[in-house]
Structure 1
Amino acid sequence: MSPARVLGLALVAGLALVTGCTAEPVPVPPPDRHVPAGGFRLVAFDSCPEALRQLKTAAKAYVGPWGLGPNGDMRTFGGVDQAAGPATAGRADAAPKSYSGTNTHEAGADEPDLVKTDGKRIVTVQHGKLYVVDPATRRLTGKLELAPGADGFRGTEDGLLLHGDRALVLLRAGVAKPAVGGGGGRVADAPTPDGIVGPRLVMVDLSGQPKILGEYRIDGNLVDARQVGTMVRVVVRSAPRLNFPHPQQATDEQRTAANREIIDNATVDDWLPRYEVTSDGRTSAGRVGCERVSRPTAYSGTSLVTMLSFDLGTAALGAGDPVTVIADGDTVYSNGPRLYVANDQRWRVLPTLTARNIAPDPEDETTEIYQFDISGAGAPRYVADASVPGWLINQYAMSEWDGHLRVATTSGRTWGNKPDSTSSVHVLRADGTALTQVGKVTGLGKGERIYAVRFVGGTGYVVTFRRTDPLYTVDLRDPGAPKVSGELKINGYSAYLHPAGEGRLLGVGQEASDQGRVQGTQLSLFDVADPARPTRIAQYHVKQGHSEVEFDPHAFLYWPAERLVVVPLTVYGKGMPSNVALALRAGDGGFTEVARIDHTLGTGRTAGFTPIRRSLVVDGVLWTVSAAGLKATSLSTMKTLGWLRTT
């Protein structure tokens, strides 16, 4: 019996009780059409042979002359959500008073980022290296090379999670493999001996000089991760490892037939993710067991989503306790006890439809959502699923409150001269193994798409944009009868919304002309105390400016005690762009600029090439982080206290 199967037996019984088992023929959606809303349920396979048979049937119905997916795209590219999309510790005032944590969606569900602090140490990982800083003495106390030879931009974003003296570093695919148990020797950038090319998870001991305790590698691409207490849940997307030839002198029919033959000859090992665990100098390998895999009632067989579980309270990573669903996965949201994985069909349908200027069919505009219970220390337990019309902009388009999941989506054509798009908010509640819609609001922003969403308690805030920025307030206190309370139209848009105390909402985005042409970074302070009459009471505009906050909210800092807003800012103009951390105080009378902090390393042609990525507060000191190093700035005087170079 394989190690994966042994590990899987504990979950199988629970999953089977929830989903049941079936050997019925698998319904396969045609290549150009997808499952209508509500038309699927997760079920388990009876056996490996049955799983392989059904996977082959599904894949052969979907494969084309160039492989799986549009133009042979097997959906194996990496990246967090479109933004990965954009991702505060719940309410803005929920952070501890002595230090700021990562700006996350929900309190109690931490998210990986390139820098972490627990108030006692600052840990950052960039370009394959981990650094530890003592904020009290403002000294660099540790350095560890995780991916030798990875200097410079690698096209991927690493992240880490922190608990006590343990850090879990998430390195995306395509970097070198470290040596375990020491300072990290130089090893070639190559697959594992079993050919695994995928994300690497590295557990690091921070109790002294940082050292690697173990690592885990799995086929696929990292989607996202969440940490609740000591438990970390990692979501990985993978595809079958099938090599489709592209003969130049063949017709499409011949290519498709050859690709179907390749699928016929595939084994279950070609589909299921393989993993490798290294600890105490020993490496063991395995793969996700068939009994660990469940499927919707309709699927294409081209993508699998695996959720892994690791406990940072232990000294070893283990085998990840994997749970796999035959589905796609783009967006992860968690409120702590529950975790949701969502995927939409844009990657399948929009390239073709855009080229032909055709509006999507409603059946093409479906986002599937899977709900898992992660409240225990064991493997995630599948609870329910749903499908809603439209697609999500990022994880902030989902929020669970009072037992209901609120989901904001955009449907329809958003391009061309005659866009027919519209946006909605759906309210769902778990009913057995289904998330059933109990209410909805439709008709938001006709001809526009969603740019930002934030749910705060029983109120939703939705920003749509094409030429102007309507900010909608949505009353969700009665889940069965949600309604639009108010609307504010202003030029430009907010790409990120952040609660800033009672009746206040901060927005970061772009100013725009009456014709919708963007004109530079814009920060807005909204008065939303009266949901029926939202108003903007303060605005700060930087011409030709852009901020990382617009697509990654981890870059945003709001320190309630000082009403301090800090955002990274790049300003384009004559010559080279300038890169700073812009610090503002947000008052009802307006924004007051208090500092522009830079990490300039030289003068003339060498200056201005070091964008600041993050900012955090520890004991009255504002720390800013870039690839060049960390700078300490006094919160009270905004004078530089120290500079730690990491390059």
Structure 2
Amino acid sequence: MRRTTAVLGAGLSVGALGVALVTTGVVGASLAVLVAPVLVAPPLGTPPAAAAGLRPFEGCEELRRWYVDEAMPHVGPWGLGGPPVVYGMRTAAGAVEADSAAGVSDAVGSGATGTNVQEAGVDEPDLAKTDGSLVVHVDGPFLVVTDVSGEKPRELSRLPLPRALGAPELLLVGDRAVVLGQPSGYLAGPGGDGGLMLDRSILPEPSSTRALVVDLGDPTAPAVVHDATYGGGLVSARQYGDVVRLVVSRTTPAIDFVYPDRVRTEREATRENRRLLRESTVDDWLPRVSTGDPGAVTGQPVGRSTEQRPDRPAAGERLMGCDAVEHPEAGAGFGTVSVVSFRADDPAARRTTGVTASGETVYSSADRLYLATTDQGWGWWGVRDSLVAGEPARVRRPPPLSTRVHAFELDGLSTRYVASGRVRGLVVDRWSMSEHDGNLRVATALGRDSWTPRENAVTVLAERGDRLTEVGRVDGLGVDEQIQSVRWFGDLAVVVTFRRTDPLYAVDLADPEAPRVLGALKIPGFSSYLHPVGDGLLLGLGQHADRQGVSRFAQAAVFDLRDLARPDRVDTEAFGEGAEFTAAWDPRGFTYLPERRTVLATLQDYRHGRSRLVVMGLGEDGTLAPRSSTVVAGWDALSVRTLPLDDGRVAVVARGEVDLLTL
């Protein structure tokens, strides 16, 4: 793997300075666009993985006992995890994942298929993709292929997708599209803060992930050639060259737990649920996969998940054998995370690795994948303990937040689970993580809940045998403020936090064991998304705020980072009250064209119920020059995409249609 040293301004090397900039907001990615030129350094690569203490289970019975032992302390009158209490639920500010929020937030420049991605060479699913002459996008229940090589776009085909395929997105791998979606369960009914929703019919069901591989060899007649449904909700999907890698998580077994009712008390329900857990089989725990007939897929309803109810064994076959599931030295949850790898031209020849752990956030570099789960993430700490004990509900003070992290080594189709560790605080989203020279750097909010962090920190974790061990940390960033955005540039991190003002911190990570803050800038408002734009300049998209911390209007700002001890804001541009850049929630709706020094950003106008595409030029001195602001959609700004084409034009996908923009 080749490493690069980027140059900030005239003769100022990031490699020499070893600096990281941290800001409260969204984390950026590669420094290649932030600075120029780029010098190639000697190959370093990530050190070989070591996992002496990690091993597969010797057989299915050992695996079953592990699941039972891990889950038993969590069993109560409502089965695993307690009732669906809505109390103090965590919402990560600026989170872009659907992977959770969908979906997902992303990085510097656009990837090979037009998506603004977090890491160069690691593509991500999106609503629209391009190979330079074709645009493939999802329009409701259709996969649409459009020819954009001529003067005007020309729709070539419209393939019906399964009607119940929830929130489909796609990867474009050569002349094949991989369409991903989830037949999702639901959580509805009365509740509110502290409210209990006890009706069994409204409890969430185990979810599944459906992957369709579509042959686009003849773009006028696309055809589904593979259809697979995996047991577990989709946490993440990434593309590495011709390899597609899915991370799915199954958090509950297929056990028909009982619930308190007029006949059964909470104590009796707990006793019965523990008996059911002890008598569970390994097939109640292991995820499964079912393969459908590709010719019968198109336009047909997905129906319910292959794991239709917790009390029904999943259809299909085991996704992996018991010997393919590994476990850390210490328990890390009773769920199962499965990493499924396949090539789009041979999706049936998949390889799967499993680990007995839970996971909700995934970050991936080119050769490492990290899975993170925040402990105490839902905030009903005392309620659960009281219900398990059969006592009246009470809420006690929660313990400090912490995050478990699991590392995987990537090599072609191989995914090898190598190490686990824990970091203090809450990981807001995947942009808060970055791998560099074999170390994982993580920005976290410290405290007992996500709403009122005590302070923020950047921690460096290194692989030591089978453990991710903390080797360095700097804290005290943004006291009593929330992280809004983070961006990593080699040995430099930028972190933005916000409460009433917007502190932007530059953090030096050159010495992993002694990270330090180099400089800070405090200004009104905050940047929810950060993007390197070259020449030592950083673009921030966010909100202007008054002295009381009340957001007033959408704002773009340019920061000068050439003197990291004294970062400066060189220009701003306001875009009216009641508006917000969608990059704050999903960076895939943002595009920067380095060769044209042009910014394209989607803006949601809440006052007028419309979406605008804003085009700005960027001067060499960092000044912003608005060029146009065009209404492209209504309330659906998050569905607008701008894809750079080979001929210098931009394909704009909005309202289910494709248009061409000449700059």
TM-score, normalising length: structure 2: 0.77
Equivalence for 1:167: 177
Deviation at 1:402, TM superposition (A): 2.2
For CA contacts below 8 A with separation 6 or more, give which structure has more relative contact order.
Answer: 2
* SS at structure 1 position matched to 2:239: strand
1:147 aligns with 2:191: no
Residues 627 and 263 (structure 1), Cα distance of their counterparts in 2 relative to 1, 3 Å cut: farther
Equivalence for 2:242: 230
Deviation at 1:358, TM superposition (A): 6.3
Moved more, 292-301 or 209-218: 292-301
Deviation at 1:521, TM superposition (A): 2.0
Moved more, 589-598 or 335-344: 589-598
Residues 86 and 145 (structure 1), Cα distance of their counterparts in 2 relative to 1, 3 Å cut: closer
Contact 1:130-1:144 within 8 A present in 2 as well: yes
Alignment deviations for residues 18-39 of structure 1 (CA, whole Å, 9 cap, x no partner): 656xxxxxxxxxxxxxxxxxxx
**Distance in 2 between residues matched to 1:338 and 1:611, nearest whole Å:** 29
**One-letter amino acid matched to 1:393:** V
Supply the RMSD in Å over aligned alpha carbons. 3.0
Once the two structures are aligned, what percentage of the paired residues are identical?
Answer: 38
Deviation at 1:383, TM superposition (A): 2.1
Residues 306 and 589 (structure 1), Cα distance of their counterparts in 2 relative to 1, 3 Å cut: closer
Residues 537 and 303 (structure 1), Cα distance of their counterparts in 2 relative to 1, 3 Å cut: same
**Distance in 2 between residues matched to 1:157 and 1:611, nearest whole Å:** 12
* SS at structure 1 position matched to 2:377: helix
Contact 1:84-1:394 within 8 A present in 2 as well: no
Alignment deviations for residues 128-176 of structure 1 (CA, whole Å, 9 cap, x no partner): 311111111221112211123x5xxx8x43211112111111112249x
**Distance in 2 between residues matched to 1:442 and 1:280, nearest whole Å:** 53
* SS at structure 2 position matched to 1:321: strand
Residues 82 and 463 (structure 1), Cα distance of their counterparts in 2 relative to 1, 3 Å cut: farther
1:563 aligns with 2:604: no
1:430 aligns with 2:430: no
Deviation at 1:485, TM superposition (A): 0.5
* SS at structure 2 position matched to 1:218: strand
Match of residue 205, structure 1, among 215, 223, 226:
215
Match of residue 105, structure 2, among 87, 92, 95:
87
1:403 aligns with 2:438: yes
**Distance in 2 between residues matched to 1:120 and 1:353, nearest whole Å:** 56
* SS at structure 2 position matched to 1:538: strand
Deviation at 1:300, TM superposition (A): 6.7
**One-letter amino acid matched to 2:67:** L
* SS at structure 2 position matched to 1:438: strand
Q: Which residues in structure 2 correspond to 1:182-581 (within 5 Å)?
A: 198-208=208-218, 209-238=221-250, 239-249=252-262, 250-278=264-292, 285-287=316-318, 288-299=320-331, 301-312=333-344, 314=345, 316-318=346-348, 320-349=350-379, 360-362=398-400, 365-375=401-411, 377-413=412-448, 419=452, 421-542=454-575, 543-573=577-607, 576-581=608-613
**Distance in 2 between residues matched to 1:123 and 1:244, nearest whole Å:** 44
Unaligned runs of 5+ in 2: 1-48, 90-95, 186-204, 298-314, 385-392
Residues 70 and 408 (structure 1), Cα distance of their counterparts in 2 relative to 1, 3 Å cut: farther
**Distance in 1 between residues matched to 2:432 and 2:453, nearest whole Å:** 21
Unaligned runs of 5+ in 1: 1-16, 21-40, 176-194, 601-606, 636-647
Contact 2:498-2:526 within 8 A present in 1 as well: yes
Deviation at 1:261, TM superposition (A): 2.0
Residues 569 and 79 (structure 1), Cα distance of their counterparts in 2 relative to 1, 3 Å cut: closer
Size of the alignment, in residue pairs?
Answer: 553
**Distance in 2 between residues matched to 1:358 and 1:583, nearest whole Å:** 50
Contact 1:79-1:222 within 8 A present in 2 as well: no
**One-letter amino acid matched to 2:116:** N
* SS at structure 2 position matched to 1:598: strand
Residues 211 and 359 (structure 1), Cα distance of their counterparts in 2 relative to 1, 3 Å cut: same
**One-letter amino acid matched to 1:404:** N
**One-letter amino acid matched to 2:410:** I
Moved more, 555-564 or 617-626: 617-626
Deviation at 1:59, TM superposition (A): 1.4
Equivalence for 2:642: 615
Deviation at 1:70, TM superposition (A): 4.1
Equivalence for 1:8: none
Alignment deviations for residues 39-69 of structure 1 (CA, whole Å, 9 cap, x no partner): xx64422211121122112212111222212
Equivalence for 1:603: none
Contact 2:525-2:549 within 8 A present in 1 as well: yes
**Distance in 1 between residues matched to 2:541 and 2:505, nearest whole Å:** 16
Contact 1:396-1:453 within 8 A present in 2 as well: yes
Deviation at 1:599, TM superposition (A): 3.2
Q: Which residues in structure 2 correspond to 1:631-646 (within 5 Å)?
A: 631-635=659-663
Equivalence for 2:168: 158
Match of residue 617, structure 2, among 570, 585, 588:
585
Deviation at 1:447, TM superposition (A): 0.9
Deviation at 1:73, TM superposition (A): 8.0
**Distance in 2 between residues matched to 1:231 and 1:395, nearest whole Å:** 21
Residues 160 and 502 (structure 1), Cα distance of their counterparts in 2 relative to 1, 3 Å cut: same
**Distance in 2 between residues matched to 1:218 and 1:585, nearest whole Å:** 45
* SS at structure 1 position matched to 2:79: coil
Equivalence for 2:652: 624
Deviation at 1:626, TM superposition (A): 2.2
* SS at structure 2 position matched to 1:463: strand
Alignment deviations for residues 91-116 of structure 1 (CA, whole Å, 9 cap, x no partner): 44x767xxx72101110111111111
**Distance in 1 between residues matched to 2:324 and 2:296, nearest whole Å:** 25
Residues 86 and 502 (structure 1), Cα distance of their counterparts in 2 relative to 1, 3 Å cut: farther
